Amino acid sequence: MALQESLAKFKQQQEKCQSTLTSIASSRPAQPHRTAHASTSSLASARAPAPAVKFSNDTERLQHINSIRKSPVGAQIKRVIDLLLETRQAFTPEQINETCYVDVNANKAVFDSLRNNLKVSYDGRRFSYKSKHDLKDKNQLLVLVRKFPEGIAVIDLKDAYPTVMEDLQALKAAGQVWLLSNFDSQEDIAYPNDPRVLIKVDDDLKHLFRGIELPRDMIDIEKDLQKNGMKPVTNTAKRRAMAQVHGIGSKSKPKKKQREISKRTKLTNAHLPELFKNLNVPDN
């Protein structure tokens, strides 16, 4: 309210100054001059209207500040949180007011909402951004992902620090983590790619895996892959057509001798014991 009154008074003063200048210019008497040229220029200047007085360039900034402070509390809080997120610095209420024009001290609702916001940390003097996971670099990111063998949502990692997404892609490229999409929420999930991590598989997933019967023909497998948006590495139809053109019959591959499993063999699918029930496992 005080800012609006100041603007109104400022405009009245500017209009009053303009009116005064105009009246002075119109009432100024013509003065004799030594030369005709000087008299002519003086008369022209007396008849010309006085230039309009422009408002100060600061008026637009003041109007912008006033619109921010009159905006809803939620909009002001978002403005402050965006500032804290982008800079990752701690600000006093006075510094916030100078930087993004949100007067935290003068608006109790904004102050209380910021102090109790889950994304904001307040130490009694300064406000700073608070991410869900306190991470500083790629090593800490990898340690955190490995603590969640069943996956951690990428959306919970995005605001940890500015380059977290680049580090996550680097860990994926190095083969240290997996990034898979959740079909329900269409969000990426980060999984640790560590063979030492024991992953618990739900019984429903086990039953689903056991109930899937793969097609016997490779062409049908390639069609199923294409239906699910995946590009098969092989092209069996093309290969068979080329074989017929050159008169080459398809040869069935000889069956490999099933390798026996001993107690020293490392079982990577130990959570599916039914895969090994028909195998000959020696006692020694």
* Tens digit of each residue's pLDDT, the chain (284 residues): 566 776 677 777 777 766 666 665 555 555 544 444 444 455 445 455 555 545 556 788 888 888 999 999 999 999 999 999 999 999 999 999 999 999 999 999 999 999 999 999 999 999 999 999 999 999 999 999 999 988 999 999 999 999 999 999 999 999 999 998 766 666 789 999 877 766 677 888 888 888 888 788 888 888 888 888 888 888 888 888 888 887 765 555 555 555 655 555 555 656 656 655 655 555 54
Long-range contacts of the stretch 167-171 (C-beta < 8 A, 24+)? 167/137, 167/138, 167/141, 168/141, 170/138, 171/138, 171/141, 171/142, 171/145
- At 58, the amino acid letter reads D
Please measure the distance between the N-terminal and C-terminal CA atoms of the chain and give it in whole angstroms. 91
Q: Which two tokens stand for residue 20?
A: 């005064």
Could you please state the CATH topology (level 3) that the domain comprising 138-192 is classified under.
Answer: Arc Repressor Mutant, subunit A (1.10.10)
Please give the helix or strand (H or E) that residue 163 lies within, else none.
none
CATH of domain 71-129: 1.10.10
Whether the domain at 71-129 and the domain at 138-192 fall into the same CATH topology: yes
Q: Where are the domains of the chain?
A: 1-17+57-70, 71-129, 138-192, 213-250
DSSP-H helix ranges across 101-161:
108-115, 138-146
pTM for this model (two decimals): 0.48
Q: Are strands 120-122 and 127-129 parallel, antiparallel or unpaired?
A: antiparallel
Read off φ and ψ for residue 155, nearest 5 degrees. -60, -25
- Specify the pLDDT at position 281: 53
